[in-house]
Amino acid sequence: MSNHNGKSVISRRKFLQTGAALGAGLAVSSSVGFPTILKAANEPIKLGIMLPFSGGMELFGQQGLQGCQMLVEEVNAAGGILGGRKLELVIADNKSDPKVAVERTVQLIQRDKVSAVIGPIASALRDAVKPTVERLKTPLLYATDYEGGVCSPWVACYSPLPEHYVQPLVPYMVENFGKKIYLFGADYSWPQKMNVAIKDTVAKHGGEIVAEEYTPFGAKDFSAVLTKIKDTGADITLLTLPGADGVTFIKQYSAAGLKESCKLGFFGFNDNYLPGLTSEESNGVMAIVHFSRVLDRPETKDFVARQQKMFGDNATISYYAESHYGITKFFVEAIKKAGSDDKTQIMANLPGTEVIGNGDVHLRADDRHVDLNMLIVEAKDSQLTQIKYVGKIVAPSQCG
């Protein structure tokens, strides 16, 4: 969902890592001579990570990987699955580039023989690799919020959809801050589909949309839009402008003194945005998430503690870590249920219910999307604080 305006760059370290992974892969598959049964029993179950580690979206890739790594370590420490087979991650950098994403996906599936591919982050990359995983009949496990509508027998999404965000947050804001709403977002599919859902909900709750506006990628000056927001006398600005442009917008919104008169609701806002803003700038920004480390729930505290133990006390634990841990967990449980690492079996056994970082999460059988527990949060003193626990939101089937 996030925007990226970076060029693709060659990261030598990732290249070497991928190379090392390839070496390990060759070493395993060259262990010929063993009887087939024995070989299968010792062979690790491989899981491909196809996330961005360079090219502009590496922040999210790194956090997603954090989730996957923790689950793999936990499973292996508990003795592996299917009678002692270990899980192994094969890490590939998609460089935030659709073309590279397709190449890496093919490599992971054909060369590294992974049982499933986790990733990517951006919708453009997901749409680019979807035909590939369908053709090669390999599960693609996606764990980022997106605009909805992916219905493929080979894709499962641990993703907050527009309904998850809009249904709880919009009525809450209309009730508490006023009826006149200004919609502003980046000019691509996620914000536009979000705004369709927002307009629908606003109409139901007696609100009024005073303007709906989009901005091209990489715009650095929002003064014209800020003037218009002030001029329309809007009570609420609903922002769908992810990434650096969103940070820029909040800075200028705050400098223009608009925060007092017009409440800012930012879809997609999460812990990652806070270090880039001073507390004066971020204070009062409202958002909705399916996971936040500040949640006062036993499973949340446990998840945060395990993450900190593995990645240090200063580790960022955002919902990317939680969602990628979650989808990996569903993958592992599916293999256990199926008693096999057969790809068709994995997809068939994915649906179920697991407790990950915030209540029980249900992965539905009909469209392979999840029902998530949501909470409304607000930034305060450079932290997200819970305003309201919403609970389970069930989005309509994405295969309709």
Partner 1 sequence: MEIILTIGLDALCYILTLLLVSIGLVIIFGLMNVVNMAHGEFFLLGAYSVVLVQKFGGPFWLAMIVGFVAVAIVGLIVEVLVVSRIYHRALDTILATWGVSLVIKQAIIIFFGPASQQVVTPFQAPAHFFGLVYPSYRLFIMLISVMISLCTFIILYRTNLGLMVRGVIANRHMSGCLGLNTQRIDRLTFALGSGLAGLAGVIMAPLMSVDPQMGLGFFLPGFLSVLVGGAGSPLGALWGAGLVGGGTSIIAAIKTPVVSQIIVFSMAMVVIRIFPNGILGRNR
Least Cβ distance, residue 316 to partner 1 (angstroms): 8
Pairing of strands 286-289, 370-380: antiparallel
Least Cβ distance, residue 213 to partner 1 (angstroms): 5
Cβ 356 vs Cβ 325: under 8 Å? yes
Evaluate the CA torsion angle 50, 54, 60, 61 in order and state its sign: positive
User: What is the rounded CA–CA span in Å between residue 172 and residue 194?
Assistant: 17
- Classify 376 as helix, strand or coil: strand
Q: Which is nearer to partner 1, 25 or 246 (CB)?
A: 246
Q: Does 229 bind partner 1 (CB under 8 A)?
A: no
Least Cβ distance, residue 245 to partner 1 (angstroms): 7
Interface segment toward partner 1; rule CB under 8 A; list 133-141, 143-151, 249-257, 339-347: 249-257
Q: Which is nearer to partner 1, 81 or 181 (CB)?
A: 181
Q: Does 380 bind partner 1 (CB under 8 A)?
A: no
Choosing from 256, 315, 348, 399, the residue that interacts with partner 1 (CB under 8 A) is: 256
Q: Does 214 bind partner 1 (CB under 8 A)?
A: yes
Q: Does 245 bind partner 1 (CB under 8 A)?
A: yes
DSSP annotation of 223: H
Cβ 344 vs Cβ 372: under 8 Å? no
Helix (H) / strand (E) element for 374: namely strand 370-380
Spatial CA neighbour of 96 closest among 6, 191, 222 = 6
Q: Does 110 bind partner 1 (CB under 8 A)?
A: no
Q: Which is nearer to partner 1, 52 or 168 (CB)?
A: 52
User: What is the rounded CA–CA span in Å between residue 157 and residue 346?
Assistant: 14
Choosing from 31, 110, 223, 344, the residue that interacts with partner 1 (CB under 8 A) is: 223
**Cis before 275? omega within 30:** no
Spatial CA neighbour of 147 closest among 191, 183, 186, 199 = 191
User: What is the rounded CA–CA span in Å between residue 256 and residue 231?
Assistant: 13
Choosing from 173, 225, 361, 379, the residue that interacts with partner 1 (CB under 8 A) is: 225
User: What is the rounded CA–CA span in Å between residue 202 and residue 170?
Assistant: 7
Q: Does 233 bind partner 1 (CB under 8 A)?
A: no
Q: Which is nearer to partner 1, 315 or 355 (CB)?
A: 315
Interface segment toward partner 1; rule CB under 8 A; list 64-72, 130-138, 271-279, 372-380: 271-279
Choosing from 47, 68, 121, 277, the residue that interacts with partner 1 (CB under 8 A) is: 277
Q: Does 5 bind partner 1 (CB under 8 A)?
A: yes
Residues numbered 29 to 68 that lie near partner 1 (CB under 8 A) are 54, 56, 58-59, 62
Choosing from 252, 283, 308, 340, the residue that interacts with partner 1 (CB under 8 A) is: 252
Q: Which is nearer to partner 1, 18 or 54 (CB)?
A: 54
Counting residues that bind partner 1 (by CB under 8 A) gives 46
117-140 residues labelled b (16+ CB within 10 A) or e (exposed): bbbbbbbbbbebbbebbeebebbb
Phi, psi of 119 (to 5 degrees): 130, -170
Name, in order, each residue with C-beta under 8 angstroms of 338's C-beta and a sequence gap of 6 or more: 345, 346, 348, 349
Q: Does 220 bind partner 1 (CB under 8 A)?
A: yes
Q: Does 83 bind partner 1 (CB under 8 A)?
A: no
Q: Does 16 bind partner 1 (CB under 8 A)?
A: no
Cβ 322 vs Cβ 303: under 8 Å? yes
Q: Applying CB under 8 A, which residues contact partner 1?
A: 4-7, 9, 11, 54, 56, 58-59, 62, 187, 213-216, 218-221, 223-225, 227-228, 230-231, 244-248, 251-252, 255-257, 272-273, 275-278, 280-281, 316
